[in-house]
Amino acid sequence: MNATIINDCRDANAAGRQCVRLAGLLDCPVNFIGVANDLEAAGQLVDVLDAQEDRPGVVLVNVAPRGGVAKKWPNGTPFGYFNYRNVLVLISIDGHTLSLVKKLSLVQTIQVLDIPTAVTAMAQAGFITEEQGEHISSTQFRSYEFLPRAAAFLSHGGELPSETISLETVPTLTDTIWFVDNFGNCKTTILSSEIASQPGEIIKTALGELPFYYRLKDVPDVTAALVVGSSGIGFDRFIEVVVRGGNAASQLGLLSGSKVYTGFTISQEALK
């Protein structure tokens, strides 16, 4: 088994502490993926589940607003959990963090936890002490104090009181960039199955009219285009905005959260 943390608390101190605690509790290797926002977390979660295949694992995701709407909760956005194949996922439920799980229909519901209630259950089971429970219930660093312990408790067969929530309540994403890689290629929330086009056909987008190709190698040099990327799960892969031999993010002014909005396809014949 292995574990992965996806979190916007990504400085070396915060990341290191989370990894050490989770590795100790689960006695397994831990990977850390730092993200800037909930969109990046949504895509990274899908990619981790894809990479995991059918092997057992645990994924902890915490990316949520800390001001504004987050103040409606007693101590930050609630966490929930679900199982996908052999992977246990614990995740913050606000924002778009679950939006791609919803879009891909990976699960239909999520079990939402109340931290004080969950902490009481872990203490009653002897998994933590009452003193630890009091500290966990009031901590500001829930990714460090609560999530790893809840993951270990559930992984070892423990049961936590929860409320079942449908993913229908999760916000639906429009055509958006969710991540920019180190080459400037921009991963979108658009699935390859949503692009009914042949190589070379032109697609209207919020970025202008872009040709579509299956592979980066087929894109003409110094040309902005849409291609089928490597991210996604199973046979569902996300479309990427690329510039062959260049940097799409810099050239087109894109970052995570930028809108793409695809429209209808214009055939090459219509352009002649």
pLDDT along the chain (272 residues), means of 10: 97 97 98 97 98 97 68 69 98 95 98 96 97 93 96 97 96 95 97 88 94 94 96 96 96 96 66 42
Q: Report pLDDT for 268.
A: 55
> pLDDT at position 75, please?
54
pLDDT for the residue numbered 263: 77
What pLDDT does 115 receive? 95
Give the residue carrying structure tokens 């999760």.
Answer: 170
For residue 66, give the nearest of 4, 136, 143, 3 by alpha carbon.
143
SS (H, E, C) the chain: CEEEEEECCCCHHHHHHHHHHHHHHHCCCEEEEECCCHHHHHHHHHHHHHHHCCCCEEEEEECCCCCHHHHHCECECCEEEEEECCEEEEEECCCCCCHHHHHCCCCCEEEECCHHHHHHHHHHCCCCCHHHHHHHHHCCCHHHHCHHHHHHHHHCCCCCCCEEEEHHHCCCCCCEEEEECCCCCEEEEEEHHHCCCCCCCEEEECCEEEEEECCHHHCCCCCEEEEEEEEEECCEEEEEEEECCCCHHHHHCCCCCCECCCCCEECHHHHC
Sign of CA dihedral 179, 149, 160, 156: positive
Query: CATH 3.40.50.10790: which residues of the chain?
Result: 2-169
- The CATH number corresponding to 2-169 among 3.40.50.10790, 3.40.50.2300, 3.40.50.800, 3.90.78.10 equals 3.40.50.10790
> 177-271 has which fold?
Elongation Factor Tu (Ef-tu); domain 3 (2.40.30)
Question: How confident is the model at residue 262, as a pLDDT?
Answer: 79
pTM of structure: 0.93
Delimiting residues of CATH 2.40.30.90 domain(s) in the chain: 177-271
